[in-house]
């Protein structure tokens, strides 16, 4: 548990909260039991619930798994009342930890962010979390540029797996980000003393930021789908060309194969006693292949 105070505002942060942490909250804060239960229970969907003396929020932050190279949702639970902002998360969230340490180490920052109310502090925290998505999107865009360059450099085959990885990353990012829009709207629509009306325009601005993120994600989704389609087309074209070459080669070799099989079935091979028999038959086979090639050319089969 980490705790920081400034004037009448207190921020308490729990990383991987335990049963002892829940007991501490029960004994020291007048928080609705249902809010405490939800605080300790993992939630698959973001939600905003208003109780008599507090507001409970669950949001999901897009986090990146370096080993699996994909985005996954990191849950952040928030309980806010008149004087306290209480946050809890199972995993370490870099932006939350950095913001907390910044406030802890700087009185000027505490005066800037904790001077008014816990609702103001929550707004600044949400702003940091949402804006932290932009560098992640920039990373995805760089991956798309690299994939495009590799595709048109003739590396279509190696890009099949890479496109799938980036496509999964974009899909998980979208799945994490989309519900946040409705959560922010529900906070604005709720009439209570915990979220003052003066903060609601700022929360509305966060909705605008969320929309810009979503529009960028839509663009990356369309781009990766177009790149995948282009890559598949180029791969298919290469495969068709390969099959065409093999087919032509087989067709040209067919008369030679038939001729050699006919000779093998004959007990008395023509020109068999001639010292140049091998070269004679080889010349006949090459002539048959040449005739086949000329016929194919005239018919524009290749």
pLDDT for 49: 85
CA distance 194 to 25: 19
Task: Residue 81: name the closest of 48, 118, 113 by CA.
Answer: 118
Q: Tokens for 189?
A: 């629509």
CA distance 93 to 19: 21
pLDDT for 272: 65
- pTM across the whole model: 0.79
Task: Give SS3 for 31.
Answer: coil
Task: Give SS3 for 250.
Answer: helix
State which residues of the chain have pLDDT below 50: none
pLDDT for 227: 94
Q: Tokens for 74?
A: 């990191």
- Hey, what long-range contacts does 228-234 have (CB within 8 A, 24 or more apart)? 228/163, 228/167, 230/151, 231/151, 231/156, 231/159, 231/160, 231/163, 234/151, 234/156
Task: Give SS3 for 221.
Answer: helix
Domains and CATH numbers, the chain: 2-237 (3.30.460.20), 240-298 (no CATH)
CA distance 260 to 255: 9
- Hey, what long-range contacts does 278-285 have (CB within 8 A, 24 or more apart)? 284/259, 285/255, 285/256, 285/259, 285/260
pLDDT for 134: 92
pLDDT for 242: 82
What's the half-sphere exposure (Cβ side, CA atoms, 13 Å) at 111?
3
């Amino acid at each position: 548990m980490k705790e920081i105070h400034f004037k009448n505002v207190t921020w308490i942060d729990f990383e991987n909260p335990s049963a002892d942490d829940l007991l501490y909250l029960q004994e020291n804060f007048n928080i609705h039991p249902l809010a405490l239960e939800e605080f300790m229970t993992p939630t698959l969907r973001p939600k905003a619930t208003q109780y008599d003396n507090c507001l409970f929020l669950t949001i999901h932050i897009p986090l990146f798994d370096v080993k699996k190279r994909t985005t996954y949702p990191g849950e952040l639970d928030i309980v806010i009342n008149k004087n306290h902002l209480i946050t809890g998360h199972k995993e370490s969230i870099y932006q939350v930890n950095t913001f907390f340490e910044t406030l802890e180490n700087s009185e000027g920052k505490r005066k800037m962010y904790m001077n008014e109310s816990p609702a103001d502090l929550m707004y600044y925290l949400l702003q940091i979390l949402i804006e932290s998505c932009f560098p992640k999107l920039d990373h995805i865009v760089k991956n798309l540029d690299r994939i495009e360059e590799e595709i048109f450099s003739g590396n279509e085959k190696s890009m099949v797996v890479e496109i799938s990885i980036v496509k999964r990353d974009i899909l998980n990012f979208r799945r994490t980000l989309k519900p946040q829009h409705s959560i922010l709207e529900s906070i604005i629509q709720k009439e209570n003393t915990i979220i003052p009306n003066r903060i609601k325009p700022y929360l509305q601005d966060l909705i605008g930021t969320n929309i810009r993120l979503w529009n960028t994600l839509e663009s990356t989704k369309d781009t990766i789908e177009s790149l995948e389609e282009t890559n598949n087309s180029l791969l298919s074209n290469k495969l068709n060309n390969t099959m065409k070459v093999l087919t032509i080669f087989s067709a040209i070799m067919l008369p030679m194969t038939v001729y050699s099989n006919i000779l093998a079935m004959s007990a008395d091979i023509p020109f068999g006693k001639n010292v140049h028999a091998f070269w004679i038959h080889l010349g006949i086979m090459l002539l048959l292949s040449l005739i086949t090639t000329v016929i194919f050319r005239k018919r524009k089969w290749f």
